[in-house]
Amino acid sequence: MTRFPFARGALAASLVAAFAVAGVHYAPGASAAAAAATRPTPAAVIAQAAPAMPGVPAVPSAQPGLAPSARGSVDFSDIVERYGPAVVNVSVTGRAPRSGPGAEPAPDDALREFLRRFGPPGAQQAPRGEAPTVRGLGSGFVVSADGLILTNAHVVEGAEEITVRLTDRREFRAKLVGADPQTDVAVLRIEARNLPTVRLGDPSRVRVGEPVLAIGSPYGFENTVTAGIVSAKSRSLPDDTYVPFLQTDVAVNPGNSGGPLFDARGEVIGINSQIYSRTGGFQGLSFAIPIDVATRVQGQLVATGRVERGRFGVSIQELDQSLARAFGMQTPRGALVTGVEPGSPAAAAGLLTGDVIVALDGRPIDRSAELPARVAEMKPGQRASLEVLRERGSKTLPIVVGTFTPEKVAAAGDAQPPGAPQPAARLGLAVRELRAGEGGPGQPAGLLVEASGGPAAQAGIRPGDRILSVNGTAVSTVAQLRDRVSAAGDEVALLIQRNDARVFVPLRLAS
């Protein structure tokens, strides 16, 4: 799972991915254009494939939407004709970071690779002692006729110069109003008037299975139109826990970053941002930032140049059926608390590791991805209430919203000296108690995993992990672990800490 423009690997469907998404805290540059293709495209083909775009069409009297075509398939042509001119190409130039004198650009710098393979000798080299220039392309769309444009923050990250090109081939130097890496939203402004604009929709109205449309500049091919359906809603992705993504099967590729996702009514419901890919290209899984999330960020960036968001100070994860049973729930719902930061609003409210947050201010939390976005919308100092499930009962906790700061404080690393492991046969683990000083200041004690097999190994637990609790009850001795496991029945939920991340892992015990 990566943000555009570079798709470096797949979304891990494993414990590693679970650790990446466990925290409620939301923890360059865009790709090259058509030159980034794996093989050169003949100039004649480019000339045929990219004719001059027509001017801005007149606004039709009726609101555009979907209509069946003569062949019986969905016809998006009215939407494209009306709103295509509001989709822009965003090109950036900047300097690649250097790790030292004479350092090379990153190995996935597509433009450097293209020049190395097809350019004149030395074309990819920067002058000695100077960081190489990186050029890239992304997409964006006009949201106000006086020149306000939305795109992705990663498209303009590190940019020294930003150029916006319209479909009528006019070009404007753009000013970066502000960018928010936590949601991957950026706002640009160009000096222009009477620009074509998109209409913004309501992502909450969108249903899974609805047809959707993307317009953008994949690999530099401007105003490319692709279509598909909404595959899922409220997806939580690694390192993006403040965004409940819309998942689609719309074909998007490097260069589509920042482009709009339209619904069947011709309204923008999202900003195309990330893809799942093992190859770097489209593989049927793309993800868009809901437009309501983006517009809230836009409003703050335009007004103050920065984004202020609420914070509870907890780490959470999704519950599956196994975890739900381990915590005495009939069906999975809510957000499972895997950690509470000392001194945080959550700690002051009495929230505990192992609690399941099922409602915020009376509004149900069905999936864990909903909570971070809801908390982020709240103002620091605002009073709220949490409904939590604890020890098979329900509690209501008042909480005062804190202020989110993006800096992350790393926890002390886990020491792994040799020792005499103790067996926990039904789990498939060999564990030992921590010695004095191993836990680090402010760290819970827990038990150190020295060997893993059976159910534990199948679940992804490995040597060096630390077991902090069983079904929400803390354990710091082998005897406590044995007692908790013996009383748990056939399934348990272990709270595991790996480095500075925590996650509950469900295990079906060996007989």
Averaged confidence pLDDT in the chain:
77
Window from 9-13, 109-113, 388-392 with minimum mean pLDDT = 9-13
> Phi and psi for 85 in degrees, rounded to 5?
-65, -15
Task: State residue 508's pLDDT score.
Answer: 80
Distance CA 332, CA 317 (A): 12
Give the chain's domains with CATH numbers.
1-12+28-47+58-307 (2.40.10.120), 310-403 (2.30.42.10), 422-508 (2.30.42.10)
Residue 2 has pLDDT above 50, yes or no: no
Q: What is the pLDDT of residues 400-458, one digit of tens each?
A: 999 887 543 222 223 333 343 444 556 778 888 877 666 665 566 788 888 887 778 87
Q: What is the mean pLDDT of residues 97-126?
A: 43
Task: State residue 66's pLDDT score.
Answer: 57
Task: State residue 216's pLDDT score.
Answer: 96
DSSP state of 280: S
Nearby residues of 161 by Cβ (< 8 Å), 6 or more positions away: 92, 93, 94, 173
Q: Where are the alpha helices (DSSP H) in 124-265?
A: 153-156
Distance CA 311, CA 234 (A): 19
Q: What is the mean pLDDT of residues 259-274?
A: 96
Nearby residues of 300 by Cβ (< 8 Å), 6 or more positions away: 306, 307, 308
- The residues annotated with a catalytic role in the active site are 154, 184, 257
Window from 56-60, 110-114, 364-368, 397-401 with minimum mean pLDDT = 56-60
Tell the residue number behind the tokens 């999936």, with chain if given: 367
Residue 3 has pLDDT above 50, yes or no: yes
* More confident of the two residues 252 and 14: 252
* More confident of the two residues 116 and 320: 320
Task: State residue 450's pLDDT score.
Answer: 83
- Cis, bond preceding 342 (omega within 30 deg of 0): no
Task: State residue 185's pLDDT score.
Answer: 96
Q: What is the pLDDT of residues 195-215, one digit of tens each?
A: 999 999 999 999 999 999 999
Q: Which residues on neighbouring strands pair with residue 447, listed in sequence order?
A: 433, 467
Residue 297 has pLDDT above 50, yes or no: yes
Q: Where are the alpha helices (DSSP H) in 28-143?
A: 43-49, 77-83, 110-118
Task: State residue 52's pLDDT score.
Answer: 33
Residue 36 has pLDDT above 60, yes or no: no
* DSSP state letters, 339-364: EE-TTSHHHHHT--TT-EEEEETTEE
- With 0-12 / 13-18 / 19 or more C-beta atoms within 10 angstroms meaning exposed / middle / buried, residue 316 is buried
Task: State residue 437's pLDDT score.
Answer: 61
Band (pLDDT 50/70/90 cuts) for residue 386 is: very high
Q: What is the mean pLDDT of residues 67-90?
A: 81
Helix or strand run (H / E) with residue 481: helix 478-486
- Count the alpha carbons within 13 Å of 282 in the hemisphere toward its beta carbon: 20
| CB 95, CB 106: distance < 8 Å | no
* DSSP state letters, 429-477: EEEEEPPTTTS-TT----EEEEEE-HHHHHTT--TT-EEEEETTEE--S
| CB 467, CB 494: distance < 8 Å | yes
Residue 46 has pLDDT above 70, yes or no: no
Residue 348 has pLDDT above 70, yes or no: yes
Contacts of 327-332 spanning 24+ positions with Cβ under 8 A = 327/354, 327/356, 327/389, 327/392, 327/471, 327/472, 327/493, 328/389, 328/391, 328/392, 329/356, 329/389
| CB 288, CB 261: distance < 8 Å | yes
Residue 42 has pLDDT above 70, yes or no: no
Task: State residue 56's pLDDT score.
Answer: 35
Nearby residues of 8 by Cβ (< 8 Å), 6 or more positions away: 2, 108, 280
Residue 62 has pLDDT above 60, yes or no: no
Distance CA 371, CA 387 (A): 12
- Greatest C-alpha distance within the chain: 79
Q: What is the mean pLDDT of residues 36-58?
A: 31
Torsion angle of the four alpha carbons 20, 24, 30, 31, in this order, in degrees rounded to the nearest 10: 30
Residue 117 has pLDDT above 50, yes or no: no
DSSP state of 217: -
Distance CA 307, CA 311 (A): 13
| CB 411, CB 385: distance < 8 Å | no
Task: State residue 328's pLDDT score.
Answer: 87
Residue 224 has pLDDT above 90, yes or no: yes
Q: What percent of the chain has pLDDT over 90?
A: 43
